[in-house]
């Protein structure tokens, strides 16, 4: 992430301005910031295309060419007046009215096939007072000046696109730290861990059925392109704060790669705000036409079965949904979302496709019929490769639930299941989540990739079940009603503790009591 103190200070200032300006809900604030970023990006991109067309001698017909009549307006206006670099110079009162009644409706009316403009059908521009809009525009301009400066002077070649993406990730991280509205954000280091475990490849179709702000799609994108950089020039990579290999990725994106990436990542969500945030997140990272749709993947309207090579997800497990809305292809006979998403992810995968999914611990050992059936899907109809339990503090400060990562490949044969007990994820497990030196993340990747499995379904080396990781044969799991909880199979190691004899303990207590009595007498005499 960014080390530029000026950019961090500007982002803090932007958030504080929205808070003091009357928008205290962080989700509402980031949505309004996103609309402003879209206005600026649209103007910047159109300006670049106009310059490029002029350079090659081809006239480019800008989206800001011609006239526009806003809904309910009496007369048309020149579209040039709708550009960021035009309206930002207006007086405060005039600017707010202009953006609300002309610029924002223009963005919603854009019929250019862009996913973001399609997602804006129910969008609302909320800005309580003119001064907030003026300050927000000023700060956003300052941020982009710093990004440009950082790209050319400070980072030694890191591209504008990469830093711009980091800026939006930093804006999104503010939501998570705000509490209750951050529950949809999976910690970035957990996403990086899951990406390194399933290793998505360029050209594969990758999906998230409940994508939120698009973190898993972005994680897959960054992993794939980092691998390309590694192959081309290993000197252009570094290890981030969590020990993961990272690279300046957008600089290698030529038109061919962009086309492949644009057709590789697919996200779905039932919240239109999340759809817009996810789209902007991917766009800010260099993905020009992301595929994120407003869709309930558990409902009757979703039927994209056997379409994807990789599915990564942290689907919501908030309880039950209406039985009448559930897609008929889902056969578990339950309304619990944590179970339905396991079956949905299984059906989304192509034969041979792999999933990495975060589930609450209850999924691993629940005794209900649907719980057992969901686990049987992964053990009997897939190769269940790994169960990685995570400490309950991973999702703090906004959730204390204990979770696990499940990795399974559709159509494979489970011979044994590899278990790992994550004790440290590199951060304190309290609400503050401060960075610490202890982390199991890199060890998980190392041990997962080096596990050796024999055809008989038994690990080739005898592992101690008292350690952090071990493998359990399929038969033993079946005999335990498909229980996948690590505690079911782990052998607890107890150390014998030798205590003093009671007589010696009482003698020590009497000695202490005698000393205290003597000191109390002396104190009384002194008084």
Nearest CA to 375 among 390, 359, 391, 351? 359
Which parts of 2-112 are beta strand (E)?
A: 67-68, 77-78
Q: pLDDT band at 491, cuts 50/70/90?
A: confident
Q: 344 falls in which pLDDT band (50, 70, 90)? A: very high
Structure tokens that stand for 109 in this block: 């009316």
User: Which class for 79: exposed (0-12), middle (13-18), buried (19 or more C-beta within 10 A)?
Assistant: middle
Confidence at residue 1, expressed as pLDDT on a 0 to 100 scale: 46
The rounded distance, in Å, linking the Cα atoms of 390 and 401 is 10
Q: Mean pLDDT of all residues in the chain? A: 88
In three-state secondary structure terms, 524 is: helix
Q: Which of 8-17, 111-120, 125-134, 354-363 has the lowest mean pLDDT?
A: 111-120
pLDDT band at 183 (very low <50, low <70, confident <90, very high): very low
282 has a pLDDT exceeding 70:
yes
Q: Report the b/e string of 123-161 with b at 16+ CB within 10 A.
A: bebebeebebbbbbbebbebbbebbeebbeeebeebbbb
pLDDT of residue 178: 46
Does residue 456 surpass a pLDDT of 50? Answer: no
Per-residue pLDDT at 157 exceeds 60: no
Residue 189 pLDDT > 60: yes
How high is the pLDDT of residue 401? 83
Residues contacting 307, CB < 8 A, separation 6+: 205, 207, 348, 350
Q: Please answer whether residues 377 and 495 qualify as being in contact, where contact means their C-beta atoms are separated by less than 8 angstroms.
A: no
Instruction: Give 2's pLDDT tier (boundaries 50, 70, 90).
Output: low
Residue 125 has pLDDT above 70, yes or no: yes
Pair 70, 78: CB distance under 8 Å: no
pLDDT at 161: 76
Q: What pLDDT is recorded for position 411?
A: 95
Beta-ladder partners of 357 = 313, 406
> What digits encode the pLDDT tens for the residues 26-72?
889 999 999 999 999 999 989 998 998 888 888 888 899 999 999 88
Would you say the C-alpha torsion 258, 259, 265, 270 has a positive or negative sign? positive
Confidence at residue 410, expressed as pLDDT on a 0 to 100 scale: 97
CA atoms of 237 and 246, how far apart (whole Å): 6
User: How high is the pLDDT of residue 158?
Assistant: 58
Q: pLDDT band at 235, cuts 50/70/90?
A: confident
**What confidence tier does 395 reach under pLDDT thresholds 50, 70, 90?**
confident
Q: Which residue has the higher pLDDT, 187 or 457?
A: 187
> What's the pLDDT score for residue 60?
86
């Amino acid at each position: 992430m960014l080390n530029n103190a000026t950019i961090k200070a500007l982002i803090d200032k932007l958030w504080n301005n929205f808070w003091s300006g009357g928008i205290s809900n962080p989700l509402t604030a980031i949505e309004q910031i996103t609309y402003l970023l879209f206005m600026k990006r649209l103007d910047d991109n159109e300006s670049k295309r106009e310059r490029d067309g002029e350079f090659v001698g081809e006239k480019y017909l800008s989206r800001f060419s011609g006239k526009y009549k806003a809904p309910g307006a009496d007369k048309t206006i020149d579209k040039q007046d709708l550009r960021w670099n035009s309206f930002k110079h207006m007086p405060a009162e005039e600017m707010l009215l202009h953006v609300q009644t002309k610029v924002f409706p223009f963005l919603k009316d854009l019929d250019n096939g862009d996913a973001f403009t399609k997602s804006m059908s129910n969008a609302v521009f909320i800005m309580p007072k003119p001064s907030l809009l003026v300050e927000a525009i000023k700060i956003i301009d300052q941020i982009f000046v710093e990004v440009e400066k950082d790209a050319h002077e400070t980072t030694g070649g890191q591209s504008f696109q990469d830093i711009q993406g980091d800026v939006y990730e930093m804006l999104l991280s503010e939501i998570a730290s705000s509490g209750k509205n951050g529950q949809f954000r999976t910690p970035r280091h957990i996403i990086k861990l899951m990406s390194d475990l399933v290793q998505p490849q360029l050209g594969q179709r990758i999906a998230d059925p409940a994508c939120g702000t698009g973190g898993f799609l972005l994680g897959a994108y960054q992993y794939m392109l980092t691998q390309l950089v590694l192959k081309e020039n290993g000197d252009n990579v570094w290890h981030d704060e969590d020990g993961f290999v990272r690279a300046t990725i957008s600089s290698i994106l030529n038109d061919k790669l962009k086309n492949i990436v644009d057709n590789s990542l697919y996200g779905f969500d039932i919240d239109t705000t999340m759809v817009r945030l996810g789209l902007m997140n991917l766009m800010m990272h260099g993905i020009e036409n992301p595929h994120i749709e407003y869709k309930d993947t558990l409902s009757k309207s979703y039927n994209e079965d056997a379409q994807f090579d990789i599915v990564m997800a942290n689907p919501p497990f908030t309880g039950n949904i209406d039985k009448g809305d559930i897609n008929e292809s889902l056969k578990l006979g339950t309304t619990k979302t944590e179970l339905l998403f396991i079956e949905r992810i299984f059906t989304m995968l192509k034969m041979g496709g792999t999933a990495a999914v975060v589930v609450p611990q209850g999924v691993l050992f629940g005794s209900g019929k649907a719980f057992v059936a969901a686990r049987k899907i992964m053990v009997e109809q897939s190769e269940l490769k790994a169960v990685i339990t995570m400490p309950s503090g991973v999702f703090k400060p906004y959730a204390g639930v204990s979770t696990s990562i499940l990795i399974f490949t559709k159509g494979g044969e489970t011979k044994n299941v590899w278990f790992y007990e994550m004790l440290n994820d590199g951060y304190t497990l309290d609400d503050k989540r401060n960075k610490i030196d202890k982390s199991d993340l890199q060890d998980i990747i190392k041990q997962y990739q080096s596990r050796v499995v024999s055809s008989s379904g038994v690990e080739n080396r005898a592992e101690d079940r008292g350690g952090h990781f071990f493998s359990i044969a399929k038969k033993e799991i079946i005999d335990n009603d498909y229980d996948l909880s690590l505690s079911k199979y782990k052998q607890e190691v107890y150390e014998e503790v030798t205590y003093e004899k009671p007589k010696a303990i009482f003698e020590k207590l009497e000695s202490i009591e005698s000393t205290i009595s003597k000191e109390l007498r002396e104190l009384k005499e002194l008084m």
